[in-house]
Amino acid sequence: MTSRRLVLTRSAAVIGAASTGLLLPEIVRAQSGKVRVGFMLPYTGTFAQLGVAIENGFRLAINEQGGKLGGREIEYFKVDDESEPSKGIENANKLVQRDKVDVLVGTVHSGVQMGIQKVARDTGVLSLIPNAGVHAATRSLCAPNVFRTSFTNSQPTRALGKAMMDRGAKKAVWITWKYAAGDEAFEGFKEGYTAAGGTIIKELGLPFPQVEFQALLTEIAALKPDAVACFFAGGAAAKFIKDYAAAGLKGKIPLYGSGFLTEGVLEAAGPAADGIITTMHYSDALATERNRQFRLNYAKTFKAQPDVYGVQGYDTGLLLIQGANAVRGDLNNKAALYKAMEGATIDSPRGKWTMSKSHNPVQDMYLRVVENKENKVIGIAAKALADSGAGCKMV
Ligand code: PHB
Residue 1 has pLDDT above 90, yes or no: no
Q: Which backbone phi and psi does 80 adopt, to 5 degrees?
A: -85, 115
Query: Helix, strand, or coil here: 368?
Result: strand
Comparing CA positions, the residue from 86, 133, 125 lying closest to residue 109 is 133
Residues having CB within 6 Å of any atom of ligand 1: 108-110, 131-134, 153, 181, 233, 260
What is the distance in A from the centroid of ligand 1 to the CA of 229?
16
Domain ranges of the chain: 31-151+288-355, 155-280+368-385
> Which of 13-27, 100-114, 149-163, 294-308 is predicted with the least confidence, judged by mean pLDDT?
13-27
pLDDT at position 32, please?
Answer: 59
Per residue in 144-164, pLDDT (tens digit) is 999 999 999 999 999 999 999
What is the distance in A from the centroid of ligand 1 to the CA of 132?
5
Question: How would DSSP label each residue in 249-299?
Answer: -TTTS-EEEEGGGGSS-HHHHGGGGTT-EEEES--TT---HHHHHHHHHHH
Mean predicted lDDT score pLDDT of the chain: 93
- Tell me the C-alpha distance between 324 and 304, whole Å: 29
pLDDT at position 206, please?
Answer: 98
Convert 312-327 into a string of H (helix), E (strand) and C (coil). Answer: HHHHHHHHHHHHHHHC
CA end-to-end span of the chain? 37
Q: Which atom of ligand 1 is nearest to the CA of 308?
A: 10
Residue 13 has pLDDT above 80, yes or no: no
Query: Helix, strand, or coil here: 385?
Result: strand
What is the distance in A from the centroid of ligand 1 to the CA of 3?
41
Per residue in 168-201, pLDDT (tens digit) is 999 999 999 999 999 999 999 999 999 999 999 9
Comparing CA positions, the residue from 170, 122, 125 lying closest to residue 147 is 125
Per residue in 340-352, pLDDT (tens digit) is 999 999 999 999 9
- Tell me the C-alpha distance between 189 and 283, whole Å: 20
pLDDT at position 257, please?
Answer: 98
Q: How many CB atoms lie within 10 A of CB 10?
A: 14
Q: Which CATH number fits domain 31-151+288-355: 3.40.605.10, 3.30.379.10, 3.40.50.2300, 3.40.50.1370?
A: 3.40.50.2300
User: Fold match between 31-151+288-355 and 155-280+368-385?
Assistant: yes
Give, for ligand 1, the residue of 187, 260, 279 to mutate: max count of ligand atoms closer than 8 Å to Cβ: 260
SS3 content of the chain, % helix, strand, coil (to 5): 45, 20, 35
Ligand 1, atom 5, residue with closest C-alpha: 109
In DSSP terms, 365 is beta-bridged to 382
In the chain, what's the furthest Cα-to-Cα distance? 80
Residue 28 has pLDDT above 90, yes or no: no
What is the distance in A from the centroid of ligand 1 to the CA of 181?
6
CATH class of the region 155-280+368-385:
alpha beta
- Tell me the C-alpha distance between 73 and 66, whole Å: 10
What is the distance in A from the centroid of ligand 1 to the CA of 109?
5
Which percentage of the chain shows pLDDT scores above 70? 92
Q: How far, in Å, are 56, 81, 308, 343 from residue 109 at the CA level?
A: 18, 9, 15, 27
Average pLDDT over residues 260-269: 97
Q: Which has more pLDDT, 29 or 20? A: 29
What is the distance in A from the centroid of ligand 1 to the CA of 8?
46
Comparing CA positions, the residue from 222, 226, 221, 223 lying closest to residue 165 is 226
Ligand 1, atom 9, residue with closest C-alpha: 132
User: Residue 128: which H helix or E strand, with range?
Assistant: strand 126-129
pLDDT at position 204, please?
Answer: 98
Ligand 1, atom 3, residue with closest C-alpha: 132
pLDDT at position 395, please?
Answer: 79
Q: Which atom of ligand 1 is nearest to the CA of 134?
A: 3
Q: How far, in Å, are 14, 81, 269, 310, 314 from residue 291 at the CA level?
A: 44, 30, 24, 12, 12
